[in-house]
Amino acid sequence: MGATGIDWALVDVAVPRQPGRLPGLSMAGFRHRAEAPADIAMVAHPSVTLIVDLSEGDGIVYDDTHGRRAKGSAFIGLLPGELRAAGTMGDCLQVRLSPVLAARVFGTSIDLAGTVAALADVWGSRFEDRLRLAPSWTQRFDIVVDVLARRLDNSPAVDPEVAHTWHRTFDSQGRLRIDRLAAETGWSRKRLWSRFRSQLGVTPKRAAQLVRFDYAAHLLAAGRSPATTAAASGYTDQSHLHREVTAFAKATPATLATAPWLAIDDVAWPAVTGHSVA
């Protein structure tokens, strides 16, 4: 996600003391010390995102997949397109699930790609109610892990070949060719393409593009120039990077580089351990 109109100096960020309790799950809590209007631009991310609006006031509003105005907590699938949320921001819990984990949690009940919907429509209201009653971020994080673990106990597994392909795509920043990944799984290219698409909602090629974009976005946010970012991310040239950024973020590389959300991403979802719960 990228964001504008938020004074991050007034936001406390909480992360779990024990990240990685469920593979593919990451969480962060945001506490706005003074509720204020916000205008948030969602940038495509290689995960399925749950935004749990725990505000006491009016909360956030956004447009769902069908262009209808929705309010409060949201389910945001892969590749949501151009999406903005506005309103009054209070406490907010954001949960990211890798496509492999999301496929197990939600199964075929919802399209993992492109769907934007009220969280209650996808998961009912009890999940959010439990989170609202929890007095601390630690307990909220524990509730999320508990609920997801219970769902996984009764969920069908994702094909190991599909999971392998996703993990290799993610770990390589989207730079491995589908032919190589198919060879690693022992499947034909056609079979891998079909099974990956049916289970994760996107094709292997689109997944690789999304992962590569996310890697490039963070390099830009860290101060790398578009030219060096393009080379480091595996784009053919700077023009190629510009086209991909425009397609995914509806922005130029220079604009994306200043997205405040990317600037705090390593705090909210640290690549290394060591952050404590606020």
pLDDT tens, residue by residue, 215-227: 999 899 888 999 9
| pLDDT grade for 11, boundaries at 50, 70 and 90 | confident
Task: Please state, in angstroms and rounded to a whole number, the distance separating the CA atoms of residues 16 and 139.
Answer: 10
Average confidence (pLDDT) over 195-207: 95
More confident: 88 or 159:
159
What is the three-state SS of the chain? Answer: CEEECCCHHHEEEECCCCCCCCCCEEEEEEEECCCEEEEEEECCCCCEEEEEECCCCCCEEEECCCCCEEECCEEECECCCCEEEEEEECCEEEEEECHHHHHHHHCCCCCCECCEEEHHHHHCCHHHHHHHHCCCHHHHHHHHHHHHHHHHHCCCCCCHHHHHHHHHHHHCCCCCCHHHHHHHHCCCHHHHHHHHHHHHCCCHHHHHHHHHHHHHHHHHHCCCCHHHHHHHHCCCCHHHHHHHHHHHHCCCHHHHHCCHHHHCHHHHCCCCCCCCCC
Kindly tell me if the per-residue pLDDT of 278 is higher than 60.
Answer: no
pLDDT tens, residue by residue, 237-275: 999 999 999 988 888 999 888 876 676 676 677 653 333
Give the least confident one: 53-67, 109-123, 204-218.
53-67
What does the domain layout of the chain look like in residue ranges? 2-156, 160-257
Q: Which of 77-81, 153-157, 186-190 has the highest mean pLDDT?
A: 186-190
| pLDDT grade for 3, boundaries at 50, 70 and 90 | very low
Whole-number pLDDT of residue 184: 97
pLDDT tens, residue by residue, 31-76: 876 666 667 677 788 999 999 999 876 677 887 888 788 888 989 9
**101 burial class (0-12, 13-18, 19+ CB within 10 angstroms)?**
buried
Average confidence (pLDDT) over 18-31: 87
| pLDDT grade for 6, boundaries at 50, 70 and 90 | low
Q: Which residue has the tokens 């496929």?
A: 103
Phi, psi of 71 (to 5 degrees): -135, 140
| pLDDT grade for 21, boundaries at 50, 70 and 90 | confident
The CATH number of 2-156 is 2.60.120
The CATH number of 160-257 is 1.10.10.60
More confident: 45 or 140:
140
Residue 250 burial (CB count, 10 A): 15
31 φ/ψ sector (left φ>0, alpha ψ -120 to 50, else beta): beta
Mean pLDDT of the chain: 85
